[in-house]
């Protein structure tokens, strides 16, 4: 067994912990918001979104969330949202078809990237190590994970650009979910604020994400 190779593997694993964990944490945050909206649709409570949106559920909503909704997979919650909104509030559904389309698209991208980082092993091939070594001294060194699908394995490079892209998708998904929630609460002011945040350009979002990216060790 090559001891140096094992040490190199540990170095890569350790360096990737913050990135992988950070991205997964953001996906959990967004999935939880989606879960709260579904629970709230079944047991609506009063309250504005400028309050703590983590406390928007009453006792019935919390029971539904803890006993049933947390048992569902992320993709099942995404699939539930559209028919639930169309039944719960036809006006919101009919007047915001593009928003619903974007929410579904964004959430699936968040889910797919989370699954990639959560379930794909780090590539420890000699080629991956060589690429890793070439980036010594760089604040963030790209790494590869191995994506196993349909009887094949595909190396997937996680670099600055990929992380920035995925974080922007996640943030837009979050604001669009809050926009939908505000519309369901008949709060046009909050809905407009959330829509404006979701419509920020990539450059504007980079400024909003600067602290997050810095914490992850990735430059915007």
Alpha carbon dihedral 181, 186, 188, 193, in 10-degree steps, equals -20
The predicted model scores a pTM of 0.89
* DSSP structure string for 96-136: -HHHHHHHHHHHHHHHHHHHHHHHPPBP-SHHHHHHHHHTT
3-state secondary structure of 218: coil
Which tens digits make up the pLDDT trace of 1-17? Answer: 566 666 767 777 777 88
Token pair listed for 108: 């699936």
Q: Do residues 49 and 190 touch, judged by C-beta distance below 8 A?
A: yes
Diameter of the chain by CA atoms?
65
**211 versus 70: which is more confidently predicted?**
70
Region 20-30: mean pLDDT is: 91
pLDDT at residue 179, rounded to an integer: 96
pLDDT band with cut points at 50, 70 and 90 for residue 181: very high
Q: Is the pLDDT of residue 66 over 70?
A: yes
pLDDT at residue 3, rounded to an integer: 67
**54 versus 40: which is more confidently predicted?**
40
Q: What distance in Å separates the CA atoms of residue 209 and residue 26, rounded to the nearest whole number?
A: 12
**68 versus 130: which is more confidently predicted?**
68
Q: What distance in Å separates the CA atoms of residue 50 and residue 67, rounded to the nearest whole number?
A: 27
Other CB atoms closer than 10 Å to residue 13's CB: what's the count? 14
Q: Do residues 170 and 26 touch, judged by C-beta distance below 8 A?
A: yes
Q: Do residues 19 and 118 touch, judged by C-beta distance below 8 A?
A: no
């Amino acid at each position: 067994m090559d001891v140096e190779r094992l040490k190199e593997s540990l170095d890569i694993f350790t360096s990737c912990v913050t990135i992988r964990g950070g991205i997964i944490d953001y996906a959990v945050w967004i999935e939880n918001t989606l879960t709260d909206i579904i629970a709230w649709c079944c047991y609506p409570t009063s309250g504005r979104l400028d309050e703590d949106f983590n406390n928007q559920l009453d006792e019935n909503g919390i029971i539904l969330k803890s006993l049933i909704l947390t048992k569902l997979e992320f993709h099942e919650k995404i699939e539930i949202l559209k028919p639930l909104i169309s039944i719960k509030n036809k006006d919101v559904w009919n007047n915001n078809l593009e928003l619903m389309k974007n929410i579904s698209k964004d959430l699936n991208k968040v889910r797919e990237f989370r699954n990639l980082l959560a379930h794909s092993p780090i590539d420890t091939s000699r080629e991956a190590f060589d690429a890793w070594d070439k980036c010594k001294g760089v604040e963030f060194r790209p790494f590869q994970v191995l994506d196993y699908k349909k009887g094949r394995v595909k190396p997937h490079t996680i670099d600055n650009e990929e992380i920035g892209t995925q974080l922007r998708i996640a943030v837009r998904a979050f604001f669009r979910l809050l926009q939908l929630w505000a519309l369901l609460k008949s709060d046009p002011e909050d809905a407009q604020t959330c829509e404006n945040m979701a419509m920020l350009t990539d450059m504007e979002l980079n400024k909003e994400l600067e602290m997050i990216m810095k914490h992850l060790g990735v430059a915007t």
